[in-house]
Chain A
Amino acid sequence: MSKEIAIIGAGMHPWGKWGHNFVQYGVAAAREALADAGIPWQDIRFVSGGATVRCGYPGYVAGATFAQALGWQGAEVNTSYAACASGSQALAAARNKILAGECEVALVVGADTTPKGFLAPAGGYRPEDPDWVRFYLGITNPTYFALYARRRMDVYGDTLEDFAAVKVKNSRIGAKNPRARYRKCFSAEDVAASAMVADPLRLMDICATSDGGAALIVCSLEYARRIGKADAPRVAAISTVTPTFASGVVEMPDIATDSAAAAGVEALSYRSSIPLKAYEEAGIGPEDISLAEVYDLSTALELDWIEDLKLTPRGEAAAWLRKGDTALGGRIPVNVSGGLACFGEAVPAQAIAQVCELTWQLRGEAGDRQVKGARVGITANQGLFGHGSSVIVKR
C-alpha cells in the first residue's frame, strides 16, 4: 500500500508585520488553498492546525479555532505544537488520518501574529525551564545561530562574505515572490553595513519574525484521481525524528549539551538524523533532489542545512554557493521562495509554507522563481530542544 498522499491545494496569506489577529491569516490561506483545490469547505473532514503560543487560548487550539472561523461543519480537528516544526507535525497528523482510511481530504493550516524584537520566554521565576534560564543569563536565539556560524568559519573556512552571499542570493529571488515580506534586492555591502547582532552575524544575516499564514489541502490518491488531479504533487516523506544521544551540538534553548562521557554512545545531531529518515521513507537519495527549502534562521545555517541534507559533502556548501550551484539555475537551487531571509519566521506557518513552495514549483507554477524540470523537493526546519522536521514532495 502506498504511503503517499496528494497535495491538491496550497495557499498563503502574504508574510508581513500586519498586526492583525492570526486567525484572519489562517482563514485567508485556507480559503486560497480550497479555491486552488477546487473543492468546497464542507468536503474537508479533518482540520489539522499548527498551534501558536503567542496569541492566547485560540492559538493553543488552533485546529478548532480555524474550523470555527471557516464555519463549523462537523469535521474532526487536531492541533500540533512543535515550535517551527508544528506545521510538519500537523501535516503528519493529516497524513495518518488519510492513510488510516478515516478521512479522504484534510486541511492543514498554520498562522501566527508575532511580537516585535527578540522572541521571549514565558514569565515568572522558572529556573527549571531551560528557555527561561538562557534568557536570564543573556543568551538569545541569535546566540545559537552565531555559535554555529563561528564553528563554520573555524572548521571549514567559511567567511563573512559567504554568509552575506546567502542573503544576496535569497533576496534576489525573494524579490520575485509576491508572498514574501522583504522584496528588496540587497547587496553584500548592505549586509556588511547592517548592525552586528551576534558576532559574526549581522542584522541582515538573521531572520526576522513575521505575521503570516499557510495552508494545504491534502487527500488520498484515490480522492485526487476522482476529482481529476491524479498528477498532483505527493507527500513522499515526513520526518520528525529526534537526534541520537549524546548530541554534541548545543541546541536552543539548552544551556549545555548532552554528556558523551558514558561509554558506547553514538551521537547524531537532529539536523543530520532528520533527512536520513526522510530519504529512506521516500525511497530516494540526495541525488534525486531538484530543489530544497531549508530553515535559514541565519545565513550560515542555510549552509549547515545544505550539508545535513547531503546535497553537498560536509564543509563544501560555501564552495557550491560561490559557484552559484545553490542559486536558481544552479545544480540544486536552495530557498527559491526567498527563504526566511525574505519571509521572516511565522512559526506555525513556516513548515507549511515550505511545502506550499514545493507544491507550486513541482506544478511548474512558480513563475520567475521556477526551477526548470523540478520533480522532487525537500524541506528542512528546526523546532526547539534539538528536533525539527523534513518533508519530501515529489511528482
Chain B
Amino acid sequence: MSNKPLVPAIDGWHTMDAKPHLIGSQCSDCGTYFFPAQYQYCRNPACDSTDFLEVQLSRTGHIWSYTNACYKPPAPFVAAEPFEPYAIAGVQLEREQMVVLGQVVTGTGVEDLKVGMPMELVLETLHETDDDIKVTWKWRPLPAGTYPETGA
C-alpha cells in the first residue's frame, strides 16, 4: 500500500471527506446551479446576476445513461498499465435538475447498470504520480432501498 498523500485530481471540484460532495455554485437571484462552479455570470438567459454561493451538490441521483471506455483515452488521461476498461455514467441530480458525468467505481461494469438506477458519489484513484495519488469523483450503485428521500 502506498503512503503517498491523496489529493484531488482537479482542485476544488469536490470535498475530500468520507461522504464526498461535488462543489458547485448557485445563483443567488434565480437559483440555477452550476457544475463546475461558476461565480462570474449566470447562464440563465433571464438572469444577469453576478452573485453566487458555493454549494455542495446532491451526492446521490439516478442514472440518465451509461456506457464504458474499452480503449485507453488519449492524454491528458493517465492510464494504468495494462489498461482496464471502466464504466461511465451520467447521473441526474433531482434538486439541481442536472446530469453530471463521471466514471463508475472500479469493479462495476455496464452489465451491472440500468437507466434509472440510484447512484452515490464516492472518491477513487484516477492515477498516481511520483508524489501523490490523484483522486476524483466516481459513481457507485446504491444498495436497494438506501436512496435517501431528501435527494441530498
Residue A132, interface by CB 8 Å: yes
Could you tell me if B45 and A199 are in contact, using CB atoms closer than 8 angstroms?
Answer: no
Could you tell me if B34 and A259 are in contact, using CB atoms closer than 8 angstroms?
Answer: yes
| Chain B positions 59 through 96: 1 when the CB is less than 8 Å from some CB of chain A, otherwise 0 | 00000111111110111110000000010101000011
Name which of A101-109, A245-253, A289-297, A341-349 contacts chain B. A245-253
Instruction: Count chain B CB atoms within 10 A of each CB in A260, A261, A264 and give the residue with the most.
Output: A261
Could you tell me if B74 and A118 are in contact, using CB atoms closer than 8 angstroms?
Answer: yes
Are A135 and B73 also in contact (CB < 8 A) when A198-B68, A246-B32, A265-B46 are?
yes
Could you tell me if A137 and B126 are in contact, using CB atoms closer than 8 angstroms?
Answer: yes
Could you tell me if A138 and B86 are in contact, using CB atoms closer than 8 angstroms?
Answer: yes
Could you tell me if A262 and B47 are in contact, using CB atoms closer than 8 angstroms?
Answer: yes
- Chain A residue at minimal CB-CB distance from B76: A136
Residue B52, interface by CB 8 Å: no
Residue B9, interface by CB 8 Å: yes
Residue A368, interface by CB 8 Å: no
| Chain A positions 131 through 155: 1 when the CB is less than 8 Å from some CB of chain B, otherwise 0 | 0111111111011001111110010
Could you tell me if B77 and A117 are in contact, using CB atoms closer than 8 angstroms?
Answer: no
| Chain B positions 115 through 133: 1 when the CB is less than 8 Å from some CB of chain A, otherwise 0 | 1000000000010000000
Residues of A within 8 A of B73 (CB): 118, 135, 138-140
Residues of A within 8 A of B74 (CB): 117-118, 120, 135, 140
Residues of B within 8 A of A118 (CB): 71, 73-74
- Chain B residue at minimal CB-CB distance from A117: B74
Could you tell me if A197 and B70 are in contact, using CB atoms closer than 8 angstroms?
Answer: yes
Could you tell me if A138 and B33 are in contact, using CB atoms closer than 8 angstroms?
Answer: no
Could you tell me if B35 and A256 are in contact, using CB atoms closer than 8 angstroms?
Answer: yes
Residue B106, interface by CB 8 Å: no
Residues of A within 8 A of B46 (CB): 264-265
| Overall SS of chain B's interface | loop
| Chain B positions 1 through 33: 1 when the CB is less than 8 Å from some CB of chain A, otherwise 0 | 000000001110100000000000001001111
| Chain A positions 189 through 212: 1 when the CB is less than 8 Å from some CB of chain B, otherwise 0 | 000000111111100000000000
Could you tell me if A127 and B103 are in contact, using CB atoms closer than 8 angstroms?
Answer: no
| Chain B positions 28 through 50: 1 when the CB is less than 8 Å from some CB of chain A, otherwise 0 | 00111111100000011111000
Pick the contact of B67 from A132, A199, A255 — CB < 8 Å? A199
What number of A-B contacts does a CB cutoff of 8 Å give?
146
Chain B interface residue count, CB cutoff 8 Å, equals 46
Pick the contact of B44 from A127, A133, A143, A245 — CB < 8 Å? A245
Could you tell me if A199 and B68 are in contact, using CB atoms closer than 8 angstroms?
Answer: yes
Residue B101, interface by CB 8 Å: yes
A149–B67 alpha-carbon span in the complex (Å) = 9
Are A199 and B110 also in contact (CB < 8 A) when A138-B86, A245-B43, A262-B32 are?
yes
Are A261 and B96 also in contact (CB < 8 A) when A245-B45, A250-B90, A250-B101 are?
yes
Are A143 and B45 also in contact (CB < 8 A) when A118-B74, A261-B95 are?
no
A123–B13 alpha-carbon span in the complex (Å) = 21
A265–B32 alpha-carbon span in the complex (Å) = 10
Could you tell me if A150 and B65 are in contact, using CB atoms closer than 8 angstroms?
Answer: yes
Residues of B within 8 A of A123 (CB): 75-76
A146–B71 alpha-carbon span in the complex (Å) = 14
Could you tell me if A198 and B101 are in contact, using CB atoms closer than 8 angstroms?
Answer: no
A245–B44 alpha-carbon span in the complex (Å) = 6
Pick the contact of B101 from A134, A136, A142 — CB < 8 Å? A134
A146–B69 alpha-carbon span in the complex (Å) = 10
Pick the contact of B136 from A117, A137, A248 — CB < 8 Å? A137
Could you tell me if B70 and A256 are in contact, using CB atoms closer than 8 angstroms?
Answer: no
The smallest C-beta distance from B105 to any residue of chain A, in angstroms, reads 13
The smallest C-beta distance from A196 to any residue of chain B, in angstroms, reads 5
- Chain B residue at minimal CB-CB distance from A130: B36
Are A257 and B31 also in contact (CB < 8 A) when A118-B73, A196-B70, A245-B43 are?
no
Residue A19, interface by CB 8 Å: no
Residues of chain A touching chain B, judged by Cβ–Cβ distance below 8 Å, are 117-118, 120-121, 123, 125, 127, 130, 132-140, 142-143, 146-151, 154, 195-201, 244-246, 248, 250, 255-265
Residues of chain B touching chain A, judged by Cβ–Cβ distance below 8 Å, are 9-11, 13, 27, 30-36, 43-47, 64-71, 73-77, 86, 88, 90, 95-103, 110, 115, 126, 136
What are 22 A-to-B residue pairs whose CB atoms are below 8 Å?
A: A117-B74, A120-B74, A125-B76, A127-B11, A135-B74, A142-B67, A147-B66, A147-B88, A195-B70, A196-B70, A198-B68, A198-B69, A199-B110, A246-B32, A248-B99, A255-B35, A256-B100, A259-B33, A259-B98, A261-B31, A261-B97, A261-B98
| 5 cross-chain pairs, A with B, having the tightest CB-CB distances, nearest first | A146-B67, A259-B33, A120-B74, A260-B97, A147-B65
